[in-house]
Structure 1
């Protein structure tokens, strides 16, 4: 029987998904400390960042993701934001607004201390902004792998890795054709008598081929980043991401776009919002 407690052994920010005040806490927080990497309160850079944040939130709410820039050198700000395909509309607005407010020191629990280069990855949404142009090159860095610590039986580990790769590739093939570049899928894994669920997504400004290439690269590099014998994992990146889980319930909302590669007969798939837990605090 699959255990639903998901544990992370990689560095995360905090062991819960929200603070007491209800503010989401990121899985991953990257705010490099450099001599010229901060901005002053009420500066032009801060004003440009606020304007860009509003634009990214508005477009992500409508389309699922957004990328762009605001201002002129030396105070131009570049940014990308994404909400998971089943977390759009007002839900996305609230998520991203809270994250940008925290990144810009507008909450009682600020993040990143007025840094110019910030990346925040959460369960259902993410953002990055910088004073350097990372947008035009479609780079996926920084990438962040997370593993579920439960494992499949050693005798079927090889077959499980093949099963996961096939499901992720099929889901990626579908996602690249969708306007929002989002795809989900599931497939029955007979050896463990359990469903495997997969989710992939790119930012919608990526052309189909570019999206598929980004997903193909992180799928291909999974053996280097994740222990594929473990029953779940994800790779988070600025431009594309993936997640898979072997579980009795899906971690995303199943809809008429969800692929069903190998069905379990006579079964209704419920929805559960599985929670990842962290064992370590952030290193700074």
Structure 2
């Protein structure tokens, strides 16, 4: 995957359905963690197009410039603007360790790139290493999005003992899921982080590093469902690979055998 010091080649595979996993494309990506690499995007053609200087475009522009600016917490934003048929919905989620200027920069980059890659599309989603951005003419709050999904894995040779490594990877990610969603009844998404990171000792001096995260609008129960689903896809995405991730519109996980997150605020 991506390292802060060494650039590694990866393979990106798109998953078009929750149950039937269909190969969409294979693409090599080379990056360094600090560059906030572009990962993938999808234009929702069924949502239609908007015209330049239309009410829908004004509403999207308002959300991207004003809702973010006025928000008290700026790592996750869900906004609504306008009346039907020009209502616009927008969500921005920054990675749990990407705060302050890193989150601001990713948000600005994501919006600029989304407009280039999905020009005039009313609905679209784009993922970067540090954030995701989603726009739509329809509400998606509290709806678990497992349809828009892809995975990435480290293209190096497999580990020596893939069976043991796979088991330890699943154990770590399952533990992180429980930590990220711990607590009693479901809480409001504004105060429920739905993010966790940790490491696990492997043989010798090696460590396994992992993280899980959900968009806060889906809440505790939705996050559990989302993470259970993508963690269950480990054999399909990353069998014996030294690093990998599954990313959807509502949740994602990543693991590596090297540190890949910022640990200091």
Task: Report the counterpart of residue 19 of structure 2 in structure 1.
Answer: none
Alpha-carbon distance, 1:221 to partner: 2.1
Residue among 179, 182, 186 paired with 2:192 = 179
Q: What TM-score does the superposition give when structure 1 sets the normalisation length?
A: 0.74
Secondary structure of 1:51 counterpart: helix
- Paired with 2:179 and 2:262, the residues of 1 have a C-alpha distance of 16
1:48 matched to 2:50: no
Change (3 A) 1:213 1:120: same
Change (3 A) 1:24 1:166: closer
* Structure 1 residue runs without a partner (length 5+): 105-109, 257-284
- Paired with 1:148 and 1:23, the residues of 2 have a C-alpha distance of 18
The alignment's C-alpha RMSD in Å is 2.9
Task: Report the counterpart of residue 263 of structure 2 in structure 1.
Answer: 254
Q: Equivalent residues in 2 for 1:1-284 (5 A)?
A: 4-10=6-12, 11=25, 15=29, 17=31, 26-33=38-45, 37-54=48-65, 57-58=68-69, 62-104=73-115, 110-154=116-160, 156-177=161-182, 179-190=192-203, 193-224=205-236, 226-247=237-258, 250-254=259-263
Q: Which 4+ stretches in 1 moved above 6 angstroms?
A: none
Q: What TM-score does the superposition give when structure 2 sets the normalisation length?
A: 0.79
* Structure 2 residue runs without a partner (length 5+): 13-24, 183-190
Alignment check: 8 A CA contact 2:10 2:28 kept: no
Secondary structure of 1:205 counterpart: helix
Of residues 83-92 and 159-168 in structure 1, the stretch that sits farther from structure 2 once superposed is: 83-92
- Paired with 1:186 and 1:120, the residues of 2 have a C-alpha distance of 28
Aligned length: 240
Q: Taking CA–CA contacts closer than 8 Å with sequence separation of 6 or more, which of the two structures ends up with the larger relative contact order?
A: 1
